[in-house]
Structure 1
Amino acid sequence: MIGGGVIGCLSALNLLERGCAVRLIEKRRTGQEASWAGGGIVSPLYPWRYSDPVSALAEWSQGYYPKLGVALAQATGIDPEISPCGLLWLDHAEQAEALRWAGLQNKPLRAVDSAFIYQQVPQLAPGFSQALWQPQLANVRNPRLMDALRARLLQHPAFSLLEDQAVTGLLMDSGKVCGVRTGSEQYNADAVVLAAGAWSGEWLAELGLGLPVKPVKGQMLLYRTAPGWLPSMVLFDGRYAIPRRDGHVLFGSTLEHAGFDKRTTAEALSSLKASAIALLPALADLQPVAQWAGLRPGSPEGVPYIGPVPGYDGLWLNTGHYRNGLVLAPASCRLLADLMSGAPAIIDPRPYAPAGRVQLAV
């Protein structure tokens, strides 16, 4: 397994539960890239905008997350804090479209008026007249999720972890991928899974394959408030506030095409603070306690690549989830394990297949 984010770790866990032995190789430390940096809303930000393949993964994952949280907490003592606090989409121009989608998908999304809005979240700035509301929509505290996944993996006798080691190449035998190389070390394997997030496109380019996965930077702010100060998640004009159980509030995020530059910027700080105060005026009296950036694995329409790489027998992909890696991870990783083990697939795997979507580089 190449890559130690939520996709790599949860793929490894699924394969271990199928009886496989798994070695995970991460060039830095497990779970410290996009999986740590994201907000953790267990839904695409605007679910009605997405294609059926993304919606299918999201639907399955949303149903599975509560069980995953309980299982990880019981096994490791680390609670991922999956909190079903609900989400308000404020004064959204696509309300009619969203409600049509909710009706077709049987989602508990409904329109609410200003009285409901301010009863649910009294801290909001005045002037909001309508909203979409989905109760019980959850967020996961992703740094704790990654800590729990790492701890759970290390409990398995058939698992080994190599951190601070970069995979530098594939081992090939008679046209089949049979392992990886890290510097002077070689590790044999029956199959290799590439789950390197924003770095996956660069990695496959070295094999002469074109995978349209590019880094897209997102910057976030963190505020510290009293527990319960923000009762629900709120989203307005592309930006959102997410409450954590201990009173921390995340605010994000930017969408920047800046290559692999993860530096935070004063411009983003100013923009995010202005949006945060416009939405929740009491934050004007507080200074953010942290600012950070992560790199999303941008891909066309956000549809991930899950399955075998054509022309490289033994090489598999699970990557390209764009803004929805945490949202789609449970279903994506279960689907990968189904495909690799020959089990019946939880959903139709064809929309995610790399075949026909990964091309020879020109």
Structure 2
Amino acid sequence: MHIAIIGAGISGLMTALELVEQGCSVTIFDQQQAAKAASWAGGGILSPMYPWRYDSAVNALAKHAKPLYQAWNEKLAPQTGIDFQIHETGMLILDEDDFEVGLNYAKQHHEPMQQAEYLQQEQLEQVNPHIHSKYQHGIYFPQIANVRNPRVLQSITTYLKQHPKVQFHEHCPIQKLNIQNNKISSITDDFDQKHFADEYVLATGAWSKHWAEQLNLEIPVAPIQGQMLLFKTPENWLPTMCMNKVMYLIPRNDGHIVCGSSMRNVGFNITPNEAVKHNILDACFDMVPELANFPIVHEWAGLRPSSPNGIPYIGKMPELNNLWANFGHFRNGLCMGAASARLLRQLMLNQTTIEDAKPYSPQHLTQMDFAY
């Protein structure tokens, strides 16, 4: 089977990886360089932030993140020479309003990896001595890890580019889906070149609404900008991830600390905003004041593919026999990415699924209502 995948972010790349490992041939298209959009820009926490604030469909996929990325890293790193750097720091949450629900979440939802401990100030200092002394207590999730998402993407891209069953077309925007007899017969790129495959996958993230008119469907996916900062501290300086009021600090192995993140509805604009930068800095220094002693080495913004309740669309698109979706992951694209791709592969190849596919079905998408 030959599959064309439109979009080379985490959803497209992981889908390609799943399919080639099953013997399929894959052609991947991206409007820019592979792995350089939202998937690169995120933080890489292998859990939704405050999972109790999300729909169960989000958590059903997210719970597979850590074991699946660990397994893929074991397979790919020896061949690519690129380690994902899965960093088992645990997560400290300082929002008092979330303590009770956070402490009960693991037992209530049968998710042992979300097991939390209540820490009073002395224990808090032992777990992370850099937390501001004003914080008298917190809850700690020791099993939550983060992954260095640019390295995940680099490793997967390297593996796929050397794979005999994979072709890449970068800087090759696809403009048109050519439809005949309830099937995609081909796709046409910006250069008026047609490309043919047996099956087609839309993994176009924040750009997925582009297909709405051609498919006569309402596709409620829109770009939401998220802004980030990167500090450089000594190696292993900050021992845990920290979160308060939806702002987070994510330490990497080498001392880099990712700080974020904002949410702004500004279309496809990825220019960092100075006022947002100061909001992020204020929140970070509030948690870890000593961070102000270290340099900011990079700042950037990415575009999240927002969707209703953050639930992605995974599965066959309505009315077409060979068009599939894997988009709309909002804030949890990397976290849900590995399980989303596995679920889609299983659906495409008629295999037993990792989770019930119904909550993600694109069959929920409704036809556009044209006013005459």
Is the shorter-chain TM-score for this pair beyond 0.5, marking a shared fold?
yes
- Quick check: 60-69 or 148-157, which moved more? 60-69
Q: Which amino acid aligns with 1:38?
A: G
| Residue aligning to 1:306 | 314
Give the TM-score of the pair, scaled to structure 2.
0.94
The answer to whether residue 199 in structure 2 is matched with residue 191 in structure 1 is: yes
What amino acid is the match of 1:121?
A: N
1:361 Cα deviation from its structure 2 partner: 4.7
- The answer for the alignment partner of 1:54 in structure 2 is 58
With the length of structure 1 as denominator, give the TM-score of the two structures: 0.97
The equivalent of 1:165 in structure 2 is: 172
1:253-264 equivalences under 5 Å are 253-264=261-272
**Worse-superposed segment, 315-324 or 176-185:** 176-185
Q: CA 1:61/1:361 → structure 2, altered by over 3 Å: closer, same or farther?
A: farther
User: Which of the residues 37, 49, 52 maps onto 1:33?
Assistant: 37
CA contact (8 A) 1:91 1:128 kept: no
Question: Are 2:157 and 1:150 equivalent residues in the alignment?
Answer: yes
Could you report, residue by residue, the CA deviation over 1:90-127 in whole angstroms, capped at 9, with x for unpaired residues?
Answer: 14312112222221224322222111111111111111
Using the TM superposition, give the Cα deviation of residue 356 of structure 1 relative to its aligned residue in structure 2, in angstroms. Answer: 2.2
The one of 5, 8, 12 equivalent to 1:4 is: 8
RMSD, aligned α-carbons: 1.3
Q: How does 1:75-224 map to 2 (within 5 A)?
A: 75-104=79-108, 105-107=110-112, 108-182=115-189, 183-224=191-232
> SS at the partner of 1:94?
helix
Residue of 266, 272, 279 corresponding to 1:271: 279
DSSP 3-state at the match of 2:6: coil
Change (3 A) 1:110 1:312: same
Q: After superposition, what is the alpha-carbon deviation per residue over 1:227-273, rounded to whole angstroms, capped at 9, x for unaligned?
A: 01001101011100000111100100001111111111111121112
**Does 103-112 or 292-301 show the bigger shift?**
103-112
In structure 2, distance between residues paired with 1:263 and 1:292: 7
CA contact (8 A) 1:171 1:188 kept: no
Between Structure 1 and Structure 2, how many residues are aligned? 362
- Kindly indicate whether residue 253 of structure 2 is the aligned counterpart of residue 245 of structure 1: yes
In structure 1, the partner of 2:27 is 23
**Given that residues 91 and 129 in structure 1 are in contact (C-alpha distance below 8 angstroms), is that contact kept between their aligned partners in structure 2?**
no
Structure 1 Cα separation of the partners of residues 82 and 274 of structure 2: 34
Conserved in 1, the CA contact under 8 Å of 2:233 and 2:257? yes
**158-167 or 261-270, larger mean C-alpha shift:** 261-270
The amino acid that maps onto 1:239 is M
Q: Deviations over 1:193-215 (max 9, x none)?
A: 00010001223334321111110
Distance 2:237 2:63 in 1: 29
1:285-309 Cα shifts (integer Å, max 9, x gaps): 2331111000000001111100011
The SS at the match of 1:53 is helix
Counting only pairs closer than 5 Å after superposition, residues 229-240 of structure 1 correspond to structure 2 as 229-240=237-248
Structure 1 residue runs of 5 or longer lacking an equivalent are none
Q: Is the 8 A contact 1:211 1:359 kept in 2?
A: no
Shift of 1:175: 2.6
Q: Is the 8 A contact 2:318 2:365 kept in 1?
A: no
Q: Report the alpha carbon displacement of residue 358 of structure 1 after superposing the two structures with TM.
A: 4.0
Does the residue aligned with 1:269 lie in a helix, a strand or coil? helix
Alpha-carbon contact 2:47-2:65 (below 8 Å) kept: no
**Which of 13, 18, 34 is equivalent to 1:14?**
18
**Residues 54-63 or 16-25, more deviating:** 54-63
3-state SS in 1 of match to 2:215: coil
Q: Relative to structure 2, which stretch is displaced further, 70-79 or 104-113? A: 104-113
For residue 6 of structure 1, report the CA deviation from its aligned partner.
0.5
Does the Cα contact within 8 Å between 1:205 and 1:361 map onto a contact in 2?
A: no
Q: Which residue of 2 aligns with 1:63?
A: 67
Given that 1:205 and 1:211 are in contact with CA atoms closer than 8 Å, whether structure 2 keeps it comes out as no
1:324 CA displacement: 0.2
Q: Indicate if the aligned counterparts of 2:42 and 2:302 stay in contact, CA closer than 8 A.
A: yes
Cα gap change, 1:142/1:361 in structure 2, threshold over 3 Å: closer, same or farther?
farther
Q: How far 1:278 moved relative to its partner?
A: 1.5
